[in-house]
Amino acid sequence: MEYFHVRFFRKITPSLVGLNHPKLNIMTVQTLPFSNLIEIDRRSATPVFRQIANGLMNLIRSGKLRPGYQLPASREMAGMMKLNRTTIVAAYEELRIQGWTEVVGKKGMFVSKQLPVINPKTFKAAALDGSVSSEKPDFYRQVSFTRPPFQELKPYQLIINDGYPDQRIAPLNSIFNRYKALLSRAYLHGMLMTGNSAGSLALRTELAAFLSKTRALSIGSENVLVTHGAQLAIFTAASMVLKPGSRVIVGDLNYVLADKLFEQLGATLIKVKVDQHGMDVDEVERICNDSRPDLLYIIPHHHHPTTVTLSAERRMKLLDLIRRYKLPVIEDDYDYDFHYENSPILPLASADHQGYVLYIGSISKTLAPTIRLGYLIGSEDFIWQASKLKQLVEIRGDVLFEESVAQLFSTGEMQRHIRRSVKLYRQRRDQFCDLLAASIGDMAHFTVPQGGMAVWTTFDMEYSIPELSKRLAVKGIYMNDGSLYRYNNDVNGIRLGFASLTDEEVLKFTKALKEVK
């Protein structure tokens, strides 16, 4: 519904004629200076009669036109507004249809005593006497997060993120242009209504070919499930495996949203040490010897948050454990393509794992965080079942968008973008680490990452990351306070993303960090 802007003037005392007023017992017609109170814009696309109706609605809302009072006759109102009487009749009819006014016999049009105004209701629980209760309803499950105090968001000149790509260099225009072109093709309209919940066939086919070539995965389109981001892929895979009471092996330092997700599904976390060579596989073996867990979640490349890579020796032993104990595994390989020193080791999913490894990747990490696309790789039957589970939450994805991204792969533009990005991000990593060491080398420690988009930086215990974050905020720079990674008293670290920062932005950040330390 459109509302017309109303000017507010001093209240005019109405003349009294007509209708029986409940208190005065006389007839009351409000003859306000309507031509001054209701502004008409003849250049507007809104018809004049509707502008009149909207203006009168606003006068009723503001109390200037009161319930039970009579409006001027249509001929009189037309004279006051210098409009055709037909326009006023149409406006009055619009008010009547919407319930703002009512016709009383042959007396005329009156403001309704039961106005169609929706009064907002509180979501707070009501006590028996109708007052707001201090008790909270507890019919829903709680998510295992600590609720922070409300903070009003403020604009920042510079944001240091967790490790995201630079969307300024991504081929987003190619996606949008392809999307517009596909939108005009009539034969695709049926696909919009009947698309497979596993995702666009074109994108699944291109992903299968790309992953087979770059990661040695022996898969076809039937092994690929496309999701809105890798997080949804983790959720889908975990939901297929876990139930309340399940046990999941995770790193002692781990991707926190995965941990929270497993706990929300009712699982218990078994934490295993992660060192400079990745997860301690010997400890995984000891756990399996005692009682095989229901799932292992591992990030073998550029572990989150520490950025370390699972060594080749540990990888081989872990594959043996997977086969021996029939251990289901979620392998989160969110930024495999971004390796700078040498060729990355192949994923666990590329080896003989007898179908127990579920492989997850992200297109968002390749293009831009706003491009919410990820994928889950598994056996044909698992993916079919997972697509039916996904369908319960999301009937189908954006088919045209997925088709548009598929074209990036089919034309080779995605592959060229990855090669350019790897070269650029390596340069940015080197500059970032050099300047970071120069600015805070006396108070923090880090290892130059072999890949990925962030540097895991641990500060000496006497330095407070939350305090540094506050001081940087005063300078217009956002850096998170490290609370996501503060699992125990031994951790005083933070991920500092470098891939999305230009040389000038890196210099600005490291200079400011040096000033506030």
DSSP string, 85-144: HHHHHHHHHHHHHHTSEEEETTTEEEE-SS--PPPP---SPBPTTSSBPSPPP--SPPPS
pLDDT tens-digit series, residues 178-199? 988 888 776 666 666 666 889 9
What is the pLDDT confidence band of residue 257, given thresholds at 50, 70 and 90? very high
* pLDDT level of residue 275 (50, 70, 90 thresholds): very high
Could you give the CA distance from residue 2 to residue 16 in angstroms, rounded to a whole number? 32
Q: Which pLDDT band holds residue 25 (cuts at 50, 70, 90)?
A: very low
- For 153-161, what is the mean pLDDT? 85
Q: Which CATH architecture has domain 1-117?
A: Orthogonal Bundle (1.10)
Contacts within 8 Å (CB) and 24+ apart, 117-126:
117/61
Q: Which tens digit of pLDDT belongs to each residue from 425-476? A: 999 999 999 999 999 988 999 999 999 999 999 999 989 999 999 999 999 9
Q: 380-393 and 230-241 helices cross at what angle (nearest 10)?
A: 110
Specify the fold of 173-411.
Aspartate Aminotransferase; domain 2 (3.40.640)
pLDDT at residue 182, rounded to an integer: 84
CB of 225 closer than 8 Å to CB of 247: no
In this predicted structure, what is the pLDDT of residue 119?
A: 58
| Chain segment 301-358, per-residue pLDDT in tens | 999 999 999 999 999 999 999 999 999 999 999 989 999 987 778 999 999 999 999 9
pLDDT digits (tens, 9 = 90+) for 48-105: 999 999 999 999 888 888 888 899 999 999 998 899 999 999 999 989 988 899 988 8
Helix (H, G, I), strand (E, B) or coil at 509: helix
CB count within 10 Å of CB 420 equals 12
For 277, the token pair is 């060579």
Domain limits, the chain: 1-117, 158-166+417-516, 173-411
Q: Of 482, 373, 498, which is closest to residue 428 (Cα–Cα)?
A: 498
Q: What CATH number was assigned to the domain covering residues 158-166+417-516?
A: 3.90.1150.10
pLDDT of residue 150: 57
pLDDT of residue 42: 86
What pTM was estimated for this model as a whole? 0.75
Query: What share of the chain has pLDDT > 70, as a percent?
Result: 85
> What pLDDT is recorded for position 26?
41
Residue 14's nearest CA partner among 2, 1, 22, 26 is: 26
